[in-house]
Amino acid sequence: MTAPLTVASPTRGIVGADQIRLFAAAFLIVFIAESIGNVSLPLGHAKVVLLPLLWALLLGAIWGLASRRLPETLGIAVPLQRTASSILEPALLLFIAKLGLLVGGSLPKLATAGFGLVFQEFGHFFGTAIFGLPVALMLGIKRQAIGATFSVGREPSLAIIGERFGMQSPEGQGVLAEYLTGTVFGAVFIALLAGFLASLNIFNPLALAMGAGVGSGSMMAAASGAIAAQQTTPELAQDVATFAAASNLITTTIGTYFTLFLSLPFTIWAYKKLEPIIGRTTKASIEAVPAADAQTQHETPSLSFGARALTWMLVGAFALVGNWITYKTSPADPMVLAGMAIIVGTVLVGHGLYRLTGAKVPAVIWVSLVGMLLTFPQFPFAAQIAAMTGKINFLALATPILAFAGLSIAKDVPAFRRLGWRIVVTSLAANAGTFIGATLVAQFFMHKIV
């Protein structure tokens, strides 16, 4: 299989003045976002809750988009936006570590989900096409619909389509459109959708949590946070995070193979059957983003180990400040500091195993497994580790991650504009499909679980 579309530049650190400015901007965004807090917007009998992580994403995007009009010392230019994008991957490991630590102590509770946790994955992988493909065909989109609706269009999906069809093909244009839509709008859209559905009180919150495990870390963080924020007890909110993490781990583990051998063939078959029936022909066309341009746009620096370690420490420090503002736990509390040290240590061990095994298994899997082991009930000191890491709310770790995601968005907007509104609607329908599809399947199996 060919490599994903993203292209890594030579390994380097992130200790220059510009990079310090980037981290300072992220810290300011986290401080403002956590200070704003949760904002509830009523929608009839339902509501949408805007969380600090969403404020962080939006503030970062606005800052990046406004950079051309800001003085050089205040702006976040495209090279720094690419650095922000490269920071996302190591920063996300902290969030994954926290969720792994939650999952380990909750494995008996996860076992009660039984077939719900297993079969909801079919909703994830087929929901994109079931919801998105008819929308695409009725809007007049042709073969681009295959690439845009066979998955949520993250990096492995780019590789699958690139190898089979080529990125210059209509299918390549479609998967790139899905990738860009998810990058620019994915976290905001899925959080608003998840929060709205949670407020209707028609779905088991744990079914919604499993629906949140779409295979994208930032989207999972946004969706699970929106669901957890509306739960009546801290215990239920933690269960939401646990089930979302477990679902996301399954999606990440088997996702590439599932999309390659099941989702893509199904979408191609469904396209051939449905296009003659509901397909429309319009004057609208989807402009291709040339492969060379796409590689340049999405090129991100590959961080050295020292840069990654610095990222883990700084993002951890940002999370402690956010945890203090929103959840009133002092960052000077020895228990809180020990909890963050364990989270960072979990990442370090998981990353070490990733390197020792030749990078054949994704780092997120290793980090998740190490975190689960540390809080597994039979592991020595599991209760103490769970108590210390429990002082840090998982949403406090999500906010700085979404801040960097927001700061990285502006670089993708020029390419995004060339894709047309029809493919954007299609991509959002596919994203909604993976969430709603998995939720419906999980609800069927878990309607008695509270």
**Using H for helix, E for strand and C for coil, what is the string for 101-115?**
HHHHHCHHHHHCCCH
Residue of 340, 380, 410, 385 lying closest to 85 (CA atoms): 410
pLDDT at 293: 47
Residue 29: which of 69, 66, 71 has the closest Cα?
Answer: 66
Predicted TM-score (pTM) of the model is 0.74
So what's the pLDDT on residue 406? 86
Rounded Cα distance between 171 and 162, Å, is 9
Taking phi over 0 as left and psi of -120 to 50 as alpha, with beta for the rest, 39 belongs to beta
The Cβ of residue 225 has, within 10 Å, a number of other Cβ atoms equal to 30
Widest pairwise Cα distance in the chain: 65
Type of residue found at 210: M
* CB contact at 8 A, 429 and 84: no
Distance (Å, rounded) from C-alpha 40 to C-alpha 49?
A: 4
* Helices marked H in 139-181: 144-149, 155-164, 170-181
- Any idea where the domains of the chain sit in the sequence? 17-446
Rounded CA-CA distance 279/140 in Å is 6
Q: Are 109 and 242 in contact (CB under 8 A)?
A: yes
Alpha-carbon distance of 344 to 26, in angstroms, equals 19
* Residue pLDDT tens, the chain, 450 long: 333 334 344 455 555 777 889 999 999 999 999 999 988 877 766 677 788 888 998 899 899 989 888 888 888 988 888 888 888 888 888 988 998 898 888 777 777 766 777 788 888 889 999 999 999 999 988 888 999 999 887 767 876 887 788 767 888 878 877 877 877 788 889 989 999 999 999 999 999 999 998 877 778 888 998 999 898 888 899 889 888 988 887 887 677 678 888 899 999 999 999 999 998 876 554 544 444 444 444 556 678 888 899 999 999 999 999 999 999 999 999 999 999 999 999 999 999 999 999 988 778 889 989 999 999 988 999 999 999 999 998 889 989 988 998 898 888 777 667 667 888 899 899 999 999 999 999 898 875 444
pLDDT of residue 132: 94
